Structure 1
């Protein structure tokens, strides 16, 4: 999955880059007015680090919020949210196809009560676990969704998954309502608790979405640029003395959507790769997930780390392991699978105290069964 400097070149290689419904106007305006860049597509496709751009906008947005920045707040919120949608649509386009064979091999190797913890937003592992491990997104994320979309919104089914898939930074098929400012406070357009989670499973027919802009032809857990609107969800009332006005400009180059428009527009529920991550904005949702991940790390006999490099800037993830290891009464066996394993090996040996006798390093990409079989004698 593309990230950092690979992201924009990957995005521009997709059909989504030429789709007028895939919005980039806020980002383009920001780059032109704030950075003086005229040919924004050339600038982005040259390999600009999307994490740096998103962090820069997030930092400026936070300072504007402290100063009650009025129109500047809107100007910065637009590219910030558009980048979240660009993340989601790029990952959805990549995942929209057959289920990844290497992920299926990994899912099939899971034993009862094994836990998968990931910082990724894509749904490759989700789909593989559904196909190979009988996993269900109704209860398999470790948190109970408010609703699940299967050609319409309904409560989660009464199912039990033997494995948990804990997604510590959210997921592109997790949805929430759009954020809005109520005075100086950023709130959701829905009137539910902030941790309320909506999970998208599949759509075989058009669904109501923003401006009716439904796009079909997507595999389960993936969708076009616009996810389904939230139906039957209480919306936030306007403050006393105010009314809520909804307007949509019609542009000659923008084709009209033909699907319904009812309900609250939704957006992906992910923690973007910015330096100051806004976990608390989603109430207790991520606190619960991180606690479950910590409990799994404390209890497990074996830890298999695939392709996670423990970036030096992500102190929260390192603290997760440190705090969990402090609570352990035994030393787990650790296997690292990574073509560049020096950083995770350094972390486990020198910062987490794993002796060489309990550490195995596979300095190669993860290749599914080819990698798994020698590890566990499958």
Structure 2
């Protein structure tokens, strides 16, 4: 998976980078006009090792500032650039995970106890797929929150858990997931960005698989994807769309350029976008109603109750202020000190966070300075 400073280098290696349906135009315009990068220099700038998290934060600040002062028309470039990066994040991850199930994640799932809880800040579905392949876990009930609908070659209501009680492990995705879908964002009559669905903002759909074309934006279905991954455009939702404010009407303008081939699928339904919390400094969890409040509360309870915590490859980045608060809240509720195993090729920052910030004594730490790969010896845990 790409990291903050090599995202566009990874993007360049994928067929996505030459697909005209993949939109980056507003990102380029933002760099050239809002940040003052010279004409033609935006592409070089994106590939100069910039931190994609810093760029997304800059776009977010410009969008919100211009929305307040100039309205949607004045803020159109950063508004569209912000969403283009969300789609680009999901598309790159979907291309990378489009293949056979990850053996690393399969081995991890095989080693779990039934009561183990999995907490992740990643958007990818490698762990989701491994759980579905190897256990009774289902996305219908296994995320700790209930989706409104599931996509399996069409939308349908989620299934109920099995009566035998074997539901698999709980998977809490605290920054959303590439296969979680929400309605494309719009603005209300007051310049505020809101979900485009006429449902509670916490309502979302879950994509699992598509073996044929599905309805999506302008019918731009892209074939060739394994379960848990999709092309640049996810399926449209069957949710009701938000009505315009009183005195307004909705006008759609969707030009077809001669150099862009038309889509070959339906465009029925409500346009969707990936439900992920982007790596910006001010993360808007509340945009999705109570969805993330529920997830983070369940994660806090799990960290409070756990006898042992295993931290794999998570370095507590500076932009994840909420994750630091999560551990502080959970550990302040504990009556005992947990055993903590850290798996990381560069474990020192995590060790410091555990000992200096959270007060975990060194005797309760087990440090494995290594990458978590298919060859990792799980007996070491």
Provide the TM-score with structure 2 as the length reference. 0.96
- 1:133 equivalent in structure 2: 135
What SS does the aligned partner of 1:4 have?
coil
1:185 aligns with 2:186: no
Q: CA deviation at 1:68?
A: 4.7
What SS does the aligned partner of 2:71 have?
coil
- 1:98 equivalent in structure 2: 100
- 1:163 equivalent in structure 2: 169
Residues 302-328 of structure 1: per-residue CA shift (max 9 Å, x gap): 100000001233221111000000101
Following the alignment from structure 1 to structure 2, what is the Cα–Cα distance between the partners of residues 354 and 166? Answer: 24
Q: CA deviation at 1:200?
A: 0.3
Unaligned runs of 5+ residues in structure 1 are none
Contact residue 279 and residue 319 of structure 2 kept, 8 A: no
Moved more, 217-226 or 30-39: 30-39
Following the alignment from structure 1 to structure 2, what is the Cα–Cα distance between the partners of residues 69 and 200? Answer: 33
In the alignment, which of 92, 112, 121 is matched to residue 110 of structure 1? 112
Q: CA deviation at 1:245?
A: 1.4
What SS does the aligned partner of 1:129 have?
helix
- 1:89 equivalent in structure 2: 91
| Aligned ranges 1:278-293 → 2 under 5 Å | 278-293=284-299
What SS does the aligned partner of 1:67 have?
helix
- 2:342 equivalent in structure 1: 336
- 1:172 equivalent in structure 2: 178
- 1:201 equivalent in structure 2: 208
1:4 aligns with 2:11: no
Q: CA deviation at 1:237?
A: 1.4
- 2:279 equivalent in structure 1: 273
- 1:225 equivalent in structure 2: 232
Following the alignment from structure 1 to structure 2, what is the Cα–Cα distance between the partners of residues 202 and 344? Answer: 36
Q: CA deviation at 1:49?
A: 1.4
Contact residue 143 and residue 172 of structure 2 kept, 8 A: yes
Q: CA deviation at 1:94?
A: 0.1
Q: CA deviation at 1:114?
A: 0.6
Provide the TM-score with structure 1 as the length reference. 0.96
1:59 aligns with 2:58: no
Unaligned runs of 5+ residues in structure 2 are none
Moved more, 27-36 or 119-128: 27-36
- 1:366 equivalent in structure 2: 372
What SS does the aligned partner of 2:75 have?
helix
Following the alignment from structure 2 to structure 1, what is the Cα–Cα distance between the partners of residues 198 and 178? Answer: 22
Following the alignment from structure 2 to structure 1, what is the Cα–Cα distance between the partners of residues 336 and 353? Answer: 18
What SS does the aligned partner of 2:150 have?
strand
- 1:245 equivalent in structure 2: 251
- 1:149 equivalent in structure 2: 151
Any runs of at least 4 consecutive aligned residues in structure 1 with deviations exceeding 3 A, and if so which?
Answer: none
Moved more, 233-242 or 12-21: 233-242
Following the alignment from structure 1 to structure 2, what is the Cα–Cα distance between the partners of residues 50 and 369? Answer: 30
In the alignment, which of 212, 217, 232 is matched to residue 219 of structure 2? 212
- 1:43 equivalent in structure 2: 45
| Aligned ranges 1:298-377 → 2 under 5 Å | 298-368=304-374, 370-375=376-381
Residues 81-104 of structure 1: per-residue CA shift (max 9 Å, x gap): 000000000000000001111111
1:29 aligns with 2:55: no
Following the alignment from structure 2 to structure 1, what is the Cα–Cα distance between the partners of residues 240 and 187? Answer: 17
Q: CA deviation at 1:70?
A: 3.8
- 2:264 equivalent in structure 1: 258
Following the alignment from structure 1 to structure 2, what is the Cα–Cα distance between the partners of residues 312 and 54? Answer: 15
Contact residue 119 and residue 173 of structure 2 kept, 8 A: yes
Following the alignment from structure 2 to structure 1, what is the Cα–Cα distance between the partners of residues 76 and 346? Answer: 41
Q: CA deviation at 1:369?
A: 5.8
Residues 46-97 of structure 1: per-residue CA shift (max 9 Å, x gap): 3221111100011112222333534222121000000000000000000000
Following the alignment from structure 2 to structure 1, what is the Cα–Cα distance between the partners of residues 371 and 26? Answer: 37
